[in-house]
């Protein structure tokens, strides 16, 4: 099963003025796996997934999702095809309740009927463990709970590809463990592309690891291969593995 390609990029490039944030990236994402995208700060990880989701316009290159070239599609159309995206910097509807936030995320895919939608919202909030806060205003939640809400908004869309940009940033240790369990519970049911600095999370969840450095794909492989890779250690692991 691991052989099917869900998403592929060809020569994906992004320049900001004179800065090459992503250079000519060829990348294949396998269906049903958890792929971790790691790399030092400023390596271009957010830029890369931004170009997948359509949030950031690519300077050149192509994105192919389920065999279809989506390079020209605006972000909302890509999301409609089954990509979901959680922001590195929390982006929720702070003025609305937790329930309303998730309902807005689920409403596009779940039938409009109120009961089905409410059930879906409740189930999703349970999955991330904040169901008891459904009626709170999202902006009043603690930072960690806002992160969990954002993850719930991704889950509620039942994505075919779930892109998470540093989801555990700012989470407490127990919340991180819950997150690991959550990702494992999703494994096989959906495809996950996870940007993550926390190596414990990466090692506990990833089937496959891709390393980005200075806008270029430095290495790819299984967790064991990546841990053993000398250039990865030089670029990244050696510096931040204990951070």
Partner 1 sequence: MTVARKINALHFGILLFLLICFFTLPAYHVGALSRIMVLAIYAIGLNILFGYTGLLSLGHAMFFAAGMYGLGLSIKFLGVSVVLAFGIGILSAAVLSALVGLLALRTAGVSFMIVTLMFAQTVYLVVLYFGEFTRGDEGFVLQQAERMLAGFDVTTEAGRYFVAFGAFSICLIGFSALVQSSFGKRLVAIRENEERARMLGYDVWRYKLLAVIISGTVSGAAGALYALLFGYVGATFASVQYSILPLLWVLLGGAGTTIGPLIGVAFMFYLIDASSAYTSAYMLIAGLALVVLTMFAPRGIAGILRTKVSPWLP
Ligand X SMILES: Nc1ncnc2c1ncn2[C@@H]1O[C@H](COP(=O)(O)OP(=O)(O)OP(=O)(O)O)[C@@H](O)[C@H]1O
Residue found by looking up tokens 């994402």 in the block: 29
CB of 239 to partner 1, least distance (A): 31
The residue within the footprint of Mg ion, chosen from 13, 88, 90, 214 (CB under 5 A), is 88
CB of 89 to partner 1, least distance (A): 10
d(CA 33, CA 200): 18
Answer with the entry of Mg ion, partner 1, ligand X, none that 170 interacts with (C-beta below 5 to 8 A by kind): none
Query: Binding string to partner 1 for residues 117 to 136, with x set by CB under 8 A, is what?
Result: --------------------
243 near partner 1, rule: CB under 8 A: no
CA dihedral sign of residues 106, 110, 116, 119: negative
Instruction: Provide the H-helix boundaries in the chain.
Output: 45-53, 75-80, 98-106, 114-128, 143-155, 173-186, 199-205, 223-228, 230-232, 238-240
Instruction: Evaluate whether 111 touches 119 at the Cβ level (below 8 Å).
Output: no
Q: What are phi and psi of 206, to 5 degrees?
A: -80, 140
Would you give the end-to-end CA distance of the chain in angstroms? 35
Measured from the CB atom, the residue of 46 and 86 that comes closer to ligand X is 46
CB of 47 to Mg ion, least distance (A): 8
CB of 75 to Mg ion, least distance (A): 17
Strand order in the sheet with 83-86: 83-86, 161-165, 191-195, 34-38, 208-213, 216-221
d(CA 181, CA 3): 25
104 near partner 1, rule: CB under 8 A: yes
Residue 160 CB contacts under 8 Å (≥ 6 apart), including other chains: 6, 66, 81, 82, 83, 190, 191
Residue 64 CB contacts under 8 Å (≥ 6 apart), including other chains: 7, 8, 9, 10, 70
91 near partner 1, rule: CB under 8 A: yes
Residue found by looking up tokens 């065999």 in the block: 67
Restricted to residues 161-220, the positions that interact with partner 1 (CB under 8 A) are none
Measured from the CB atom, the residue of 117 and 195 that comes closer to ligand X is 195
CB of 51 to partner 1, least distance (A): 14
CB of 21 to Mg ion, least distance (A): 10
Measured from the CB atom, the residue of 79 and 164 that comes closer to Mg ion is 164
User: Where on the chain is the footprint of ligand X (CB under 6 A)?
Assistant: 16, 19, 21, 39, 41-47, 88
Answer with the entry of partner 1, Mg ion, ligand X, none that 16 interacts with (C-beta below 5 to 8 A by kind): ligand X
CB of 54 to partner 1, least distance (A): 9
Interface residues with Mg ion (CB under 5 A) are: 46, 88
| Binding residues vs partner 1 (CB under 8 A) | 53, 55, 75-77, 79-80, 85, 87, 91-96, 100, 103-105, 107-108, 112, 153, 157
């Amino acid at each position: 099963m691991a052989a099917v390609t869900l998403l592929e990029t060809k020569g994906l490039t992004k320049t900001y003025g004179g800065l090459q944030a992503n250079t000519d990236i060829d990348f294949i994402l396998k269906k049903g796996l958890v792929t971790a995208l790691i790399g030092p700060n400023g390596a271009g990880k957010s830029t890369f997934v931004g170009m997948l989701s359509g949030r950031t316009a690519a300077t050149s290159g192509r994105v192919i999702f389920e065999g279809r070239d989506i390079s020209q599609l605006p972000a909302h159309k890509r999301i409609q095809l089954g990509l979901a995206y959680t922001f590195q910097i929390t982006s929720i509807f702070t003025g609305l309740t937790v329930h309303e936030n998730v309902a807005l995320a689920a409403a596009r895919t779940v039938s409009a009927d109120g009961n089905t939608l409410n059930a879906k919202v409740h189930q999703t909030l349970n999955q991330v463990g904040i169901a008891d806060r459904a009626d709170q205003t999202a902006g009043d939640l603690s930072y960690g709970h806002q992160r969990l809400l954002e993850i719930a908004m991704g889950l509620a869309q039942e994505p075919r590809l779930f892109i998470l940009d540093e989801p555990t940033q700012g989470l407490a240790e127990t919340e991180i463990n819950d997150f690991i369990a959550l990702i494992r519970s999703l494994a096989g049911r959906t495809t996950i592309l996870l940007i993550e600095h926390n190596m414990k999370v990466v090692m506990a969840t990833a089937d496959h690891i891709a390393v980005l450095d200075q806008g270029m794909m430095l290495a790819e492989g299984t967790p064991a291969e990546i841990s053993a890779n000398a250039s990865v250690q030089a670029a990244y692991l050696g510096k931040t593995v204990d951070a």
